Amino acid sequence: MMLLRNLISALIVLGVSVVAEQQGYDDAAQADDAVQAYDDAAQANDDAQQAYYYDNIDYSGAFSAGDDTIQYWTDYAILPKRCIVYNNVDVIVFSVHEQYYKQCQDNPIGTYITPVPNFLQGYLQYYMQIQEDKGYDDYELPEVADYAYCTRVEIQNQELYLQIGCSDESPNSIAVNIYEDNTCTKRSTSIDGYDDANIDVSEIQVSLPFKHCQSCVMWVDKNDDEIDDMFYENRKQNAPLCSTAWNFKQECDRKCRRSGLESKTKDGWNTPDKVLLAILAVFGFGMLIAILQKRQNMSNKDALLEQAAMTAAGLQQVHVIGIFFLIIIVITVFALLQLKNITWALLLIMNTTLFGYLMKLTVDSGVSAGETVIGPDGTIIRHADSDDSSVESVTQTPRNNAGTYMLPTIS
C-alpha cells in the first residue's frame, strides 16, 4: 500500500513537471512568433517606403509608369531643362527627342516632369554604366550620391531627413534639402530658418546635364572579344537615365512650362554696338547735310514738280520735316530703352530712305544740267531754268556769219 502511494505521488510530480516544461516551450514559441511578426512588419514598412520612392513619390499616383513604353533607346535623346518645385514636389523639367543626331534641335516628343530623386537615381546608374564601359570597375559614386534617397540624420539633437532636390538659388542647380518626415515631402526650416543642408553637391552638379542634349545610349569603344552577343542588345534596351525619367514622367502643362523660367535680362549696348550706332548716326547726318545742299541747288522746275507730288499726297513740307524729327526721337527713345532689334531696324530704314532720296536728287540735278539746248550754229537757245517767256527765238538769218550762203532777193 505504501509502495502504491509513493508510485502515484511520483507520477503526479512527473506530470506536473512535464506540463510546466511544455508550457515554457509554448511561451517561448509565442515570444519568437511575436518577434518574427515585428520583424516582418518592419520589413514590410521598409519595403513600402522604398516602393514609395520608386512608384508614387507624391502620394497622388501622378508619377507612375506609363503604357507608352519605348523598347529601344538608341536614337533617342533627353534634354534636362531646369529643376523646379511644382505642386510642392521637386521635379526635373525635360524633353525627349527621337533623333539624337539633331542635338535636340528638332521638335520633341513632349515636355515632361519627373521627381528629382527618380531622375537622379536614373542618372547615377547611367553614369556608373559609362564608367564600367570605360573599364573603371572600381569606380565609386561620391558620398553625396547617397542623398538621392531619403536619409535619416540627427542635426542639433533633432531627427530629420535629407534628400537631394531643387536649389533655392537657381533652377539649373540641385541641393541637399532638409525634411521633417521619412518620406521627404515636407520641408523643414527648423535649422537656422533654412531648408538647405549646405552639403557640397558639386561632384554631381558638374556632370548633371542641365540644358545639354544627352544621348539616351552612350556607346564606348570596347574589344569585341571582351563582350558577349547580348551586350549591344542590352545597351539598346537598358538606358537608365531616359527610361527612368520616361517611366515616372508627367505631362508638363502650360503652367509647368512657365514655372522656374529665368527672367531675360537686357544686355544693353556693348562697345561694338555703340561703335556701329555712331557710324550709322554720322552716316545719316552726312546724308542729311548733302540733301540740304542739293535742295538749295535744285532747279525751279524740279522744285515745282516735287511740291506738286507732295501736294498730291496731301502733305506739306512742314509735315515731312515733322515726321523726320519724330522718327529720330522714336529711335533715340528705343535706344535708351535698350531695345536693340527695333532700334537697328528703324535706324537702317531711315538711313536707307535718306540714301535713296539723295541719289534721286543727284540724278535729277544731272538730268537738269543736260537740258541746255544749243542751236546748230552754237547759239544757246534755252537753259534748264528758262520758261516759255524767256525762250530766245532766232527767226532771222544770222548775219556776217562766215560760210553761210544767202539766197539772192529777186525783185
Continuous H helices in 98-182? 116-133
Neighbours of 398 (CB within 10 A): 10
Q: Which pLDDT tens digit goes with each residue over 194-249?
A: 778 888 888 887 767 788 898 888 876 665 555 656 777 777 888 889 999 999 99
Radius of gyration of the chain (CA): 46
Q: Which pLDDT tens digit goes with each residue over 91-113?
A: 999 999 988 788 888 889 999 99
Q: Which residues contact 278 (CB under 8 A, 6 or more apart)?
A: none
Residue type, 30: Q
Neighbours of 217 (CB within 10 A): 21
DSSP class of residue 194? B
Which pLDDT value is given to residue 246? 92
Domain ranges of the chain: 77-258, 271-368
Q: Per the confidence metrics, is the pTM higher than 0.85?
A: no
Q: Which pLDDT tens digit goes with each residue over 349-408?
A: 989 988 888 888 788 776 655 555 455 555 555 554 444 444 444 444 455 555 555 656
Please answer whether residues 156 and 188 qualify as being in contact, where contact means their C-beta atoms are separated by less than 8 angstroms. no
DSSP class of residue 183? T
d(C-alpha 169, C-alpha 191), whole Å: 18
Identify how many contiguous H helices and E strands the chain contains and give both numbers. Answer: 10, 10
- Segments of 284-324 assigned E as strands: none
- Segments of 87-241 assigned E as strands: 89-97, 110-115, 151-155, 158-166, 174-179, 214-215
